[in-house]
Amino acid sequence: MSKSDFRSGAVDSVAKLHSPPGVAAAPVDMSYFSEDVFNDCAMRKYLPEAVAAKLLATVNDGVALDPAIAADVAHAMKHWALDRGATHFTHWFLPLNGSTAEKHDSFLELENNQAIMSFSGKNLIMSEPDASSFPSGGLRSTFEARGYTAWDPTSPAFIKRHSNGATLCIPTAFCSYTGETLDKKTPLLRSNQALSKAVKRLMKCFNLPDEQVVITLGAEQEYFLIDKHFYLHRPDLLQTGRTLFGAPPAKHQQLEDHYFGSIKSRVLSFMTEVETELWKLGIPAKTRHNEGAPAQFELAPIFENVNLAVDHNMLVMEVLRQVADRHSLVCLLHEKPFAGVNGSGKHNNWSVNYGDLKLLKPGNNPEQNAIFLTVLCGIIQAVDLHSDILRASVAGAGNDHRLGANEAPPAIISIYVGEQLNEVIEQLEKGTTGVGRKMGKMQIGVDTLPLLPRDAADRNRTSPFAFTGNKFEFRAPGSSQCCAGPMMILNTIVADSLDKIAAELEGFSGKDFNKKLQKLLQNIIKTHKRVLFHGDNYTASWRKEAARRGLPNAESTLEALEAFSNPENIELFARHGVFTAKEMESRHEVFGEEYRRKICIEGQVGLEIVRSMIIPAVTAEYSSALTALNAAKTAGLTAGIEGLSKTAQLLGEGLDAMVAKCALLEQELNGDGRDILALLNSLRDTVDSLELMVADSRWPLPKYREMLFVY
């Protein structure tokens, strides 16, 4: 079969998919929402009242878990799971490789040769999966390789279904024998505690009674969908998640006709099934739409507490992949599956509540506004002081194609607060009581504070860290990344900053407090306003300006990860109990190693594709040009000789270039590997230009126009 056959076969198979007419929809019944979650309802149904109350106090109010209830909870959970067809349970956790991990055990026990289904308190609370192949960055030496998972009661257990049964999944933290964290959840929980402590300390300065601190996250998830037939014929997508080659199609996203366009029926049917699956898992999927690039889409949930939202986003990614497969589609979560069109991010919308008070919402009264501005300044200070580690939190081979390239957002971390709020900040800095253009009185003295605008709207989509009314939107995280990392770093640096502010304010009250606060915020703005930027973040002029301001710009992962070795950062994370120095170092090692491995795989896959698929195709093209040329000469023709010679010449040059570049790439793969990406890019230039010359029927890889437009 010639290569073109499978490509046109794939196109034909998509063409045969008929788009069924809309069905008469059944009345909506949402009673299945959360049906696969061991939530309040299930607890009340399956647990004695007193035990349910205790467990709910832990889940909802952060009360320490009473270990005495574990056996009852395990018993109830088992019955609930068996009622839903689950035969197995697993401790579900978030290892450092950014995915989720599970090792299943059945409930099966033998009693006098009789099968019984058993699940003890101990089974629930702790497990020792071998799991020694997960990266630990030196925290687990082989002679002491034990790793433990420990139940996280604050994220509810859930049921995962497959075509032939179901599994009870228990969210857990994963740590070493010596208690060092080996996962992404533990540091997140520690950082929640750190931020919670700092917020409480600060609120005490404002004379507020003790309340619960709730950190919220809403993670907007971008992704691509392509037909599975094409995917399976792209070894690069299969093995690296992105296309290493592919000439851009004449039309891609220039007309901006995809974003918010009407959603194709096949995709809508996929999205609907995704939502149904997510709703069963209690994941509040809310928004769906087409994104900027062709074949790119977005899903956004209603925000939840950050620990739950992180777990839920991991499940969102899994459900997207699984449901796509059922629809003969493939969901690509890589940050840059296609060159030349938008990549995919995961906007992390983050906010903090203190009891009923939304700390990031401009308030109704002067006191609330003072708190809002204090927290805002605290965040500005945190991001300016620690943008290096915030940048590191989103580092990765895939995300480099967004952050380091001419795409949104850049690797330079800056903050956008919006025009109106910026005006408030400027007045604050000047310490004037003047009348602002839009704002009225600007003095920060608590009793003279103005009502802030409620819709300090976000009109800048290029900023990596934007204030959007009642939350900050961190747009740098990549589409495939686990939100736990960036959220944990953000929590910690803000905790540190709020702590500093609280330390300054403690001991002051009344008018002195107001004066002190005004001066303090003024100083913070003066010192840290360089991190505020309201212009277009994509431009070269911003890069220049940012350099002038001294803002870091780590364009590549390895450079960005250095922040994990910065002694100030090590000290900061240790001080807040989020990471020990050793744990920090282990992250640096794990993430660096993961990056190097991924790049190496890309190099190897690229080399293999060019040598085994592209060079043979170009050789065939070259050879037929030569055959035609010789035939023309033999026939004594003059026409065509020049054209055929030129064509053969170009193809020949292409062949020479590919062979030479492959040799260099191979050498680099066997060497220190530092230039793999550069060499791969150069190889790509040659391959992509040949793609536009070689007969379409001969080209061995599905083309961009097919993958992006035929689905």
Task: Please report, as ranges, the residues that interact with ligand ADP according to CB under 6 A.
Answer: 216-218, 220, 287, 300-303, 347, 349-351, 470-471, 473
218 binds, among Mg ion, ligand ADP, none (CB under 5 to 8 A by kind): ligand ADP
Identify which of residues 148 and 474 has a Cβ nearer to ligand ADP in the complex.
Answer: 474
Binding site for Mg ion (CB under 5 A): 220, 347
313-334 residues labelled b (16+ CB within 10 A) or e (exposed): bbbbbbbbeebbeebbbbbbbb
Selection from 516, 535, 158 nearest residue 319 by Cα: 158
CB of 615 to ligand ADP, least distance (A): 44
Identify which of residues 220 and 583 has a Cβ nearer to Mg ion in the complex.
Answer: 220
Identify which of residues 7 and 347 has a Cβ nearer to Mg ion in the complex.
Answer: 347
Q: Which residues, in sequence order, are CB contacts of 339 under 8 Å at separation 6+?
A: 243, 246, 248, 401, 684
Rounded-to-integer distance, Cα 330 and Cα 54, Å: 43
CB of 708 to Mg ion, least distance (A): 23
Give the residue nearest to ligand ADP (CB). Answer: 218
Q: In the structure encoding, which two tokens stand for residue 676, read together?
A: 């793999």
301 binds, among ligand ADP, Mg ion, none (CB under 5 to 8 A by kind): ligand ADP
- Alpha helices, DSSP H only, in 97-254? 121-125, 185-205, 228-231, 235-240
Q: What are phi and psi of 315, to 5 degrees?
A: -70, -35
Identify which of residues 302 and 695 has a Cβ nearer to ligand ADP in the complex.
Answer: 302
Rounded-to-integer distance, Cα 597 and Cα 602, Å: 9
Identify which of residues 465 and 711 has a Cβ nearer to Mg ion in the complex.
Answer: 465
User: Residues, the chain, total?
Assistant: 711
Identify which of residues 86 and 359 has a Cβ nearer to ligand ADP in the complex.
Answer: 359
Identify which of residues 300 and 677 has a Cβ nearer to ligand ADP in the complex.
Answer: 300
CB of 271 to Mg ion, least distance (A): 18
Q: In the structure encoding, which two tokens stand for residue 188, read together?
A: 């997140």
Identify which of residues 100 and 348 has a Cβ nearer to Mg ion in the complex.
Answer: 348
Angle formed by the axes of helices 676-691 and 581-609, nearest 10°: 30
CB of 384 to ligand ADP, least distance (A): 22
CA dist list (Å): 90 to 80, 93, 119, 440:
15, 9, 11, 58
589 binds, among Mg ion, ligand ADP, none (CB under 5 to 8 A by kind): none
287 binds, among ligand ADP, Mg ion, none (CB under 5 to 8 A by kind): ligand ADP
586 binds, among ligand ADP, Mg ion, none (CB under 5 to 8 A by kind): none
132 binds, among ligand ADP, Mg ion, none (CB under 5 to 8 A by kind): none
CB 595 within 8 A of CB 558: yes
Selection from 131, 307, 115, 342 nearest residue 223 by Cα: 342
3-state secondary structure of 116: strand
Selection from 305, 309, 302, 425 nearest residue 362 by Cα: 425
Selection from 164, 117, 155, 118 nearest residue 37 by Cα: 155
CB of 381 to ligand ADP, least distance (A): 21
Place of tokens 């030569």: 626
Q: What are phi and psi of 435, to 5 degrees?
A: -95, 120
CB of 358 to ligand ADP, least distance (A): 7
Give the residue nearest to Mg ion (CB). Answer: 347
What is the bridge-based pairing of β-strands 86-92 and 165-176?
Answer: parallel
CB 146 within 8 A of CB 176: yes
Identify which of residues 36 and 220 has a Cβ nearer to Mg ion in the complex.
Answer: 220
Rounded-to-integer distance, Cα 235 and Cα 594, Å: 20
In DSSP terms, 37 is beta-bridged to 158
499 binds, among ligand ADP, Mg ion, none (CB under 5 to 8 A by kind): none
Counting beta carbons within 10 angstroms of the beta carbon of residue 637, is it exposed (0 to 12), middle (13 to 18) or buried (19 or more)? Answer: exposed
Cis omega (within 30 of 0) for bond into 48? no
List own/partner pairs for 140-146 with CB under 8 A and 24 or more apart.
140/176, 140/177, 140/182, 144/176, 144/177, 144/178, 146/176, 146/177
CB of 488 to ligand ADP, least distance (A): 16
Selection from 699, 706, 703 nearest residue 613 by Cα: 699
Give the Cα-Cα-Cα angle 613, 616, 621 (nearest 5 degrees).
120
CB of 312 to Mg ion, least distance (A): 17
Identify which of residues 489 and 520 has a Cβ nearer to ligand ADP in the complex.
Answer: 489
Identify which of residues 349 and 518 has a Cβ nearer to ligand ADP in the complex.
Answer: 349
Rounded-to-integer distance, Cα 359 and Cα 505, Å: 18
CB of 533 to Mg ion, least distance (A): 18
Give the Cα-Cα-Cα angle 527, 529, 530 (nearest 5 degrees).
100
CB of 487 to ligand ADP, least distance (A): 11
Identify which of residues 252 and 347 has a Cβ nearer to ligand ADP in the complex.
Answer: 347
300 binds, among ligand ADP, Mg ion, none (CB under 5 to 8 A by kind): ligand ADP
Identify which of residues 334 and 361 has a Cβ nearer to ligand ADP in the complex.
Answer: 361
CB of 262 to ligand ADP, least distance (A): 18
Instruction: Provide, for the chain, the percentages of residues in helix, strand and coil under a 3-state DSSP scheme, each rounded to the nearest 5.
Output: 50, 15, 35
Give the Cα-Cα-Cα angle 534, 497, 419 (nearest 5 degrees).
20
302 binds, among Mg ion, ligand ADP, none (CB under 5 to 8 A by kind): ligand ADP
Identify which of residues 35 and 458 has a Cβ nearer to ligand ADP in the complex.
Answer: 458
216 binds, among Mg ion, ligand ADP, none (CB under 5 to 8 A by kind): ligand ADP
CB of 297 to Mg ion, least distance (A): 14
Identify which of residues 75 and 346 has a Cβ nearer to Mg ion in the complex.
Answer: 346
- Quickly count helices (H) and strands (E) in the chain: 24, 20
CB of 391 to ligand ADP, least distance (A): 21
303 binds, among Mg ion, ligand ADP, none (CB under 5 to 8 A by kind): ligand ADP
CB of 66 to ligand ADP, least distance (A): 30
351 binds, among Mg ion, ligand ADP, none (CB under 5 to 8 A by kind): ligand ADP
CB of 345 to Mg ion, least distance (A): 9
Selection from 284, 311, 309, 310 nearest residue 299 by Cα: 284
CB of 412 to ligand ADP, least distance (A): 21
Q: What is the dihedral of CA 253, 258, 259, 263, to 10 degrees?
A: -160
Identify which of residues 484 and 563 has a Cβ nearer to ligand ADP in the complex.
Answer: 484
